[in-house]
Protein backbone atom coordinates (compact mmCIF):
# COMPACT_ATOMS: atom_id res chain seq x y z
CA UNK A 1 0.00 0.00 0.00
CA UNK A 2 1.44 3.36 -1.05
CA UNK A 3 2.00 6.03 1.59
CA UNK A 4 -0.43 8.93 1.37
CA UNK A 5 1.06 12.40 0.87
CA UNK A 6 -0.29 15.91 0.26
CA UNK A 7 1.27 18.49 -2.07
CA UNK A 8 0.25 22.14 -1.71
CA UNK A 9 1.03 24.90 -4.22
CA UNK A 10 -0.80 27.89 -5.67
CA UNK A 11 -0.16 26.75 -9.26
CA UNK A 12 -2.35 23.86 -10.51
CA UNK A 13 0.06 23.09 -13.36
CA UNK A 14 2.93 22.61 -10.90
CA UNK A 15 0.79 20.31 -8.76
CA UNK A 16 -0.20 18.27 -11.81
CA UNK A 17 3.46 17.84 -12.74
CA UNK A 18 4.35 16.71 -9.20
CA UNK A 19 1.46 14.26 -9.18
CA UNK A 20 2.52 12.70 -12.50
CA UNK A 21 6.10 12.45 -11.26
CA UNK A 22 5.34 10.90 -7.88
CA UNK A 23 2.18 8.82 -8.30
CA UNK A 24 4.06 5.55 -8.88
CA UNK A 25 5.84 5.87 -5.54
CA UNK A 26 3.10 7.47 -3.38
CA UNK A 27 -0.63 8.03 -3.16
CA UNK A 28 -0.69 11.73 -4.03
CA UNK A 29 -3.32 14.30 -3.08
CA UNK A 30 -2.96 17.93 -4.13
CA UNK A 31 -4.43 21.22 -2.95
CA UNK A 32 -4.27 24.67 -4.51
CA UNK A 33 -3.28 26.99 -1.67
CA UNK A 34 -3.18 26.75 2.11
CA UNK A 35 -6.91 26.94 2.77
CA UNK A 36 -7.65 23.98 0.53
CA UNK A 37 -4.64 22.22 2.04
CA UNK A 38 -6.15 22.50 5.51
CA UNK A 39 -9.48 21.30 4.15
CA UNK A 40 -7.76 18.28 2.63
CA UNK A 41 -6.14 17.45 5.98
CA UNK A 42 -9.53 17.59 7.69
CA UNK A 43 -11.47 15.67 5.06
CA UNK A 44 -8.99 13.35 3.34
CA UNK A 45 -6.23 12.84 5.88
CA UNK A 46 -4.29 11.55 7.63
CA UNK A 47 -1.19 12.06 5.48
CA UNK A 48 2.24 10.64 6.18
CA UNK A 49 3.93 13.69 4.67
CA UNK A 50 2.89 17.17 3.53
CA UNK A 51 5.04 19.22 1.13
CA UNK A 52 4.14 22.86 0.63
CA UNK A 53 5.52 25.60 -1.56
CA UNK A 54 6.74 28.63 0.41
CA UNK A 55 5.48 31.50 -1.73
CA UNK A 56 1.70 31.38 -2.00
CA UNK A 57 -0.76 34.30 -1.95
CA UNK A 58 -2.96 34.76 1.10
CA UNK A 59 -1.29 32.09 3.24
CA UNK A 60 2.41 31.34 2.86
CA UNK A 61 3.73 27.82 3.03
CA UNK A 62 5.22 28.51 6.45
CA UNK A 63 1.87 29.76 7.76
CA UNK A 64 0.07 26.78 6.25
CA UNK A 65 2.45 24.26 7.78
CA UNK A 66 2.18 25.92 11.20
CA UNK A 67 -1.59 25.39 11.05
CA UNK A 68 -1.13 21.89 9.62
CA UNK A 69 0.98 21.08 12.68
CA UNK A 70 -2.02 21.87 14.90
CA UNK A 71 -4.43 19.89 12.73
CA UNK A 72 -2.19 16.84 12.18
CA UNK A 73 0.71 16.83 14.65
CA UNK A 74 2.03 13.41 13.61
CA UNK A 75 2.30 14.26 9.91
CA UNK A 76 5.80 15.07 8.71
CA UNK A 77 5.93 18.56 7.16
CA UNK A 78 8.31 19.81 4.45
CA UNK A 79 8.74 23.20 2.80
CA UNK A 80 9.66 23.73 -0.85
CA UNK A 81 11.42 27.05 -1.33
CA UNK A 82 13.60 29.10 -3.65
CA UNK A 83 17.09 30.23 -2.67
CA UNK A 84 15.84 33.76 -1.99
CA UNK A 85 13.40 32.38 0.60
CA UNK A 86 15.89 30.37 2.63
CA UNK A 87 16.04 32.90 5.48
CA UNK A 88 12.27 32.86 5.83
CA UNK A 89 12.28 29.07 5.56
CA UNK A 90 14.72 28.77 8.42
CA UNK A 91 12.51 31.01 10.57
CA UNK A 92 9.52 28.83 9.66
CA UNK A 93 11.16 25.63 10.88
CA UNK A 94 10.42 26.43 14.53
CA UNK A 95 6.84 27.64 13.95
CA UNK A 96 5.83 24.68 11.84
CA UNK A 97 8.22 22.13 13.32
CA UNK A 98 9.29 21.47 9.73
CA UNK A 99 11.16 18.22 9.20
CA UNK A 100 13.03 19.38 6.11
CA UNK A 101 13.05 22.08 3.47
CA UNK A 102 13.78 21.49 -0.20
CA UNK A 103 15.13 24.05 -2.65
CA UNK A 104 13.63 24.66 -6.08
CA UNK A 105 14.09 23.36 -8.64
CA UNK A 106 13.98 20.01 -6.86
CA UNK A 107 14.99 16.91 -8.80
CA UNK A 108 12.60 13.99 -8.64
CA UNK A 109 15.23 11.75 -7.00
CA UNK A 110 15.82 14.29 -4.24
CA UNK A 111 12.10 14.74 -3.61
CA UNK A 112 11.41 11.00 -3.56
CA UNK A 113 14.27 10.45 -1.10
CA UNK A 114 13.03 13.25 1.15
CA UNK A 115 9.42 12.05 1.08
CA UNK A 116 10.48 8.46 1.74
CA UNK A 117 12.46 9.63 4.76
CA UNK A 118 9.44 11.60 5.95
CA UNK A 119 7.15 8.60 5.55
CA UNK A 120 9.53 6.44 7.58
CA UNK A 121 9.61 9.07 10.30
CA UNK A 122 5.79 9.22 10.34
CA UNK A 123 5.49 5.43 10.56
CA UNK A 124 8.01 5.33 13.41
CA UNK A 125 6.09 7.96 15.40
CA UNK A 126 2.75 6.20 14.81
CA UNK A 127 4.16 2.78 15.77
CA UNK A 128 5.59 4.15 19.03
CA UNK A 129 2.34 5.92 19.88
CA UNK A 130 0.21 2.88 19.09
CA UNK A 131 2.40 0.67 21.26
CA UNK A 132 2.32 3.17 24.11
CA UNK A 133 -1.43 3.63 23.91
CA UNK A 134 -2.20 -0.10 23.77
CA UNK A 135 0.12 -0.86 26.70
CA UNK A 136 -1.14 1.94 28.91
CA UNK A 137 -4.79 1.54 28.00
CA UNK A 138 -4.55 -2.17 28.79
CA UNK A 139 -3.29 -1.34 32.29
CA UNK A 140 -5.95 1.33 32.70
CA UNK A 141 -8.68 -1.16 31.77
CA UNK A 142 -7.51 -3.51 34.52
CA UNK A 143 -7.61 -0.68 37.07
CA UNK A 144 -11.01 0.50 35.81
CA UNK A 145 -12.39 -3.04 36.16
CA UNK A 146 -11.04 -3.13 39.72
CA UNK A 147 -12.78 0.17 40.50
CA UNK A 148 -16.01 -1.07 38.93
CA UNK A 149 -16.03 -4.13 41.18
CA UNK A 150 -14.99 -2.26 44.34
CA UNK A 151 -17.21 0.83 43.93
CA UNK A 152 -19.78 0.88 41.12
CA UNK A 153 -20.88 4.42 42.08
CA UNK A 154 -17.34 5.80 41.81
CA UNK A 155 -16.85 3.92 38.54
CA UNK A 156 -20.02 5.44 37.11
CA UNK A 157 -18.73 8.88 38.08
CA UNK A 158 -15.43 8.23 36.32
CA UNK A 159 -17.34 7.27 33.16
CA UNK A 160 -19.25 10.54 33.26
CA UNK A 161 -16.06 12.55 33.76
CA UNK A 162 -14.39 10.66 30.92
CA UNK A 163 -17.34 11.47 28.64
CA UNK A 164 -17.09 15.19 29.42
CA UNK A 165 -13.33 15.18 28.91
CA UNK A 166 -13.67 13.39 25.55
CA UNK A 167 -16.25 15.93 24.39
CA UNK A 168 -14.04 18.89 25.37
CA UNK A 169 -10.89 17.34 23.86
CA UNK A 170 -12.66 16.67 20.56
CA UNK A 171 -14.05 20.21 20.48
CA UNK A 172 -10.60 21.75 20.87
CA UNK A 173 -8.78 19.02 18.86
CA UNK A 174 -6.26 18.60 21.65
CA UNK A 175 -3.12 16.58 21.02
CA UNK A 176 -2.86 13.28 22.96
CA UNK A 177 -6.53 13.54 24.04
CA UNK A 178 -6.43 9.84 24.97
CA UNK A 179 -4.18 10.74 27.89
CA UNK A 180 -6.84 13.07 29.25
CA UNK A 181 -9.47 10.36 28.88
CA UNK A 182 -7.22 7.89 30.67
CA UNK A 183 -6.70 10.33 33.55
CA UNK A 184 -10.46 10.88 33.75
CA UNK A 185 -11.09 7.12 33.90
CA UNK A 186 -8.68 6.82 36.83
CA UNK A 187 -9.78 10.01 38.60
CA UNK A 188 -11.90 8.08 41.12
CA UNK A 189 -9.53 5.16 41.69
CA UNK A 190 -8.67 6.36 45.20
CA UNK A 191 -12.28 5.77 46.19
CA UNK A 192 -11.45 2.09 46.68
CA UNK A 193 -9.86 3.14 50.00
CA UNK A 194 -13.20 4.51 51.26
CA UNK A 195 -16.22 2.65 52.59
CA UNK A 196 -19.23 2.37 50.30
CA UNK A 197 -21.54 4.44 52.52
CA UNK A 198 -19.17 7.42 52.52
CA UNK A 199 -18.81 7.32 48.74
CA UNK A 200 -22.56 7.15 48.29
CA UNK A 201 -23.16 10.07 50.63
CA UNK A 202 -20.53 12.20 48.92
CA UNK A 203 -21.79 11.48 45.41
CA UNK A 204 -25.41 12.13 46.42
CA UNK A 205 -24.52 15.53 47.87
CA UNK A 206 -25.29 14.60 51.49
CA UNK A 207 -23.59 16.88 54.04
CA UNK A 208 -20.50 15.15 55.40
CA UNK A 209 -18.90 15.56 58.78
CA UNK A 210 -15.53 17.33 58.78
CA UNK A 211 -13.80 13.99 59.24
CA UNK A 212 -15.76 12.37 56.39
CA UNK A 213 -15.11 15.34 54.12
CA UNK A 214 -11.38 15.19 54.85
CA UNK A 215 -11.30 11.47 54.05
CA UNK A 216 -13.22 11.92 50.81
CA UNK A 217 -11.12 14.87 49.69
CA UNK A 218 -7.97 12.78 50.22
CA UNK A 219 -8.97 10.06 47.77
CA UNK A 220 -7.04 11.54 44.79
CA UNK A 221 -3.79 11.40 46.79
CA UNK A 222 -4.57 7.81 47.81
CA UNK A 223 -4.51 6.76 44.16
CA UNK A 224 -1.07 8.27 43.46
In the chain, the DSSP E strands lie at: 4-9, 27-32, 49-53, 76-81, 100-103
How confident is the model over 29-57, as a mean pLDDT?
95
Higher pLDDT, 195 or 89: 195
What integer pLDDT is reported at residue 92 of this predicted model? 60
Backbone angles phi, psi at 86, to 5 degrees: -60, -40
Q: Given pLDDT bands bounded at 50, 70 and 90, which one contains residue 82?
A: confident
Higher pLDDT, 210 or 133: 210
Is the pLDDT at 67 greater than 60, yes or no?
Answer: yes
| pLDDT tens string 116-135 | 999 999 999 888 877 777 77
By percentage, how much of the chain surpasses pLDDT 90? 35
Q: Given pLDDT bands bounded at 50, 70 and 90, which one contains residue 31?
A: very high
Is the pLDDT at 87 greater than 70, yes or no?
Answer: no
| pLDDT tens string 161-187 | 888 888 887 777 666 677 787 888 888
Q: Given pLDDT bands bounded at 50, 70 and 90, which one contains residue 50?
A: very high
Q: Which helix (H) or strand (E) holds 121?
A: helix 108-150
Higher pLDDT, 150 or 7: 7
Task: Could you please state the CATH topology (level 3) that the domain comprising 4-126 is classified under.
Answer: Rossmann fold (3.40.50)
Domain ranges of the chain: 4-126, 151-222
Angle of helix 177-185 relative to helix 152-172, nearest 10 degrees, comes to 160
Report the alpha-carbon distance of residue 207 to residue 215 in Å, rounded.
13
What integer pLDDT is reported at residue 9 of this predicted model? 95
Amino acid sequence: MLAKILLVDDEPAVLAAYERSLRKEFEVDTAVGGELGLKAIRERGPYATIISDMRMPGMSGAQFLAQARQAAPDTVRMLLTGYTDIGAAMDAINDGNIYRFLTKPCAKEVMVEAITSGVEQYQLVRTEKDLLEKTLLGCIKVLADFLSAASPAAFARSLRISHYVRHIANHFTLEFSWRLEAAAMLSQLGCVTLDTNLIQKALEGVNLTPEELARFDAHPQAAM
